[in-house]
Structure 1
Amino acid sequence: MSLATPTTASAPAPDAPVPARPTYRAAIAYAAIALVALLAMPLRTPAGDTRFRLSTETDFAQIPAFAVPAGPTVWVLVLVAVALAALAFWWTRTGRRTGLWLPVVFGVALLLAFLTFAGAGRAAVIPLTSIATGTLFLATPLIFGALSGVVCERVGIVNIAIEGQLLAGAFMAAVVGSLTASAYLGLVAAPVAGALVGTLLVFFAVRYQVNQIIVGVVLNVLVVGLTSFLFSTVLAEAPDTWNARQALPVLPVPVLSQIPVIGPILFRQTLLVYLMYVIVIALQVYLFRSRWGLRLRAVGEHPKAADTVGIDVNRTRVRNTLLGSAVAGLGGAFFTVASGLAFGKEMTGGRGFIALAAMILGRWSPKGAVAAALLFGFADNLRTVLGTIGSSVPPQLLLMTPYIVTILAVAGFAGRVRAPAAEGVPYVK
């Protein structure tokens, strides 16, 4: 009787890929949010109807305001969110990707449920089109900041200085716009200020290989201190000369701006918003469909390989970081000339860091960053909406809403993405 020797026929090959364990981070986030909504809204919805309006006064066709029964509507929408959370668990277990539609439908269901809950039994009409218009407008600086982060980090430079670039752009737009009495010239000056901050970033990060996160934090403090000093000593002394309000006019697109619902949202905006459309589309196409985008992403992922094929790594990083910084500076114009406001100390209010969160949540992609920024823009706009309809939600909670949404979003979904491999790593040839 011979002893059978073990065979290796059934053993996995040494080089066989190990199947990745499914991550339930997103599914858990869906479930937690749906559970909170289930406990907070349906059982506490006041009796009565909630009234909505879609049309504006200048639309071609007027859609009459309509009312929905608040209680049943909230129940249906929240249960849809619960079902989607369960579906996310099931698809994660079976290895199927959820796709983009699931978080979109999940978010829309909960947002409509919350608006229905907040407006239940109240005489005020909830203007859905105006809410969407305000969301896009408030998301504008976040979109510019997130796009700046996408360009810089895709090429391997960590741009923590987005907050400073937004603030510098707001300051320069206000000063130049005031001196020239032209909001458009202020808009032109804003990206120059952002690029100047970006110049300092690449000087220390590329030339001297200083830690990029530390440089970004220092630049934020520098811009806050410098603009506050100039505001106190120059702008406040002669506000009519240095800090007079200049506002970009709203430029409705003929015909398109009168289409119900989408017209006021997309085609009744200022020049800054229209520029945002162009930049988003251009970056999405050129980043993934052009030679420039391929070189940029190669430098951010594997700079040594890029250098081997003849790409000047550091020059590519410098140029694209300046481009991204200029985009952030352009977004800073939102706070002054695009909003018709004078410059104020630290008026960006931490939106540069929210833009970074939008970039991460958007997976370092222009279209993903836009979607995430719109989410944060809605959270910011929610404060105004609830105040208009007379909601009893504490105002302190409303002020915290954008930051709470930022924390929940990044904590729930950021673990599913991967940053560019060479991000933050200096390259020495």
Structure 2
Amino acid sequence: MTWNVLIVDDEEQLCKLIARKLKKAGVGTVIAQNGQAALKAISETTIDVVILDYMLPDMTGIEVLRAIKEEKDIPVIMLTSYANVESAVLAMKIGAADYLNKPIELEELKNIVVKVCQQPRGEDDGLSGNQGLVCESEKMKKVLELVRRVKDTEASMLILGESGVGKTALAKWIHENSVRKQKPFVAINCAAIPETLLESELFGFRKGSFTGATASQKGKFLAADGGTVFLDEIGELSLSMQVKLLHVIEEKKIMQIGSNEYHSLDVRIIAATNKSLKKLVEGQKFREDLYYRLNLMEIEIPPLRDRKGDISPLVWHHMEKLNDKYKKELMIHPKVVQRLSAHNWPGNIRELLNTVERLHILKRMGTIELADLEETSTDERLSSVDGNMPFDNKQWTASDNLSQALEEVEEQMIKKALTETNDNQTKAAEKLGIARHTLIYKMKKIGMKP
């Protein structure tokens, strides 16, 4: 299969260099040197990927990008400069697949184009924000790969992970991408409902079965019939409730309080906990038979500090949601995203998103800058001038060359990431939130041996 790439740039020589590089990789090219010519080419030719410069003679790259996204779902790689960093942020928000700073490295551009071309079009890979999950790290992609294999089975699942890592979001994703997606998804926090009320909440009751039962109630399990029941904080269940839950799972029948009749039940059970159920079983605080019933498939979500490659896409996606929620058009500076990406986030995704929302609420317009983060954060490592960044002793002034300053910061971050990962390039790239081939290119650029 031959791919067709549209190169849009008013620098004729650069277009020819890119075309020559892509031709060697077996990629066909079409060249346009202004926005109108680009849109005309897209309407008349099958285009798989667009390489689009921000500065064009007749239109901005943003205007061309908007027009492309309104008409066709074609991946767009933006070319910009450090001086136009806010425009790059806006381009990603509109839907650009990637962006590169000029001057570009042709080998890196070629690798990105080939990678984008190879991605299946029109298929939801389960990583998009529209499906409730946003991830780029290899660790989370492995988790999703495991989930994909079993999402359409009847296997019960146990999701493990620290508080705030996204266990509920993953449970919802499993349901929404399974054969049960047309039926209800009912979530129950076992720790939030008092023990005396939990049985009636889960299994329902008949009118008059106890004081205060003025009307019959189906209960969560029957309400989810045909769909999915998500039992969060399953480790908080008392032993007596564990016996009753085990009976429902084994018999696939339920009897409401005050009734003598069984109701057939068809639900898939997904449970989650931030505790070690194995240790609870060993301490005889959790039934071993129930543990194995719930744990047919065990999925562990890593803490955010171990998958920092997910922080940047989570921030961008949440900013878009917040703009819709609060009717704003705010942007966030990449330096802020870098600072956020360097933090360990003991509260995981929940803490990260709360921080981003607080910044968004307090910023009325424009771009969220480092100063905003330093003024509003209650965490010393985020609010300090140097935060958790690797350029602690460097003081920058307005007279410094921005491009040179960013290159120095980039070099120090790369060296720090490699040191922390014992020169493991794959882990270092994930820590930095970039692709491994991009890391290798940047190492060569600063004179480091890959």
Say yes or no: TM over 0.5: no
Higher RCO, 1 or 2 (CA under 8 Å, sep at least 6)? 1
Q: TM-score, normalised by structure 2?
A: 0.21
TM-score by length of 1: 0.22
Q: Looking at secondary structure, tell me which structure has more strand per residue.
A: 2
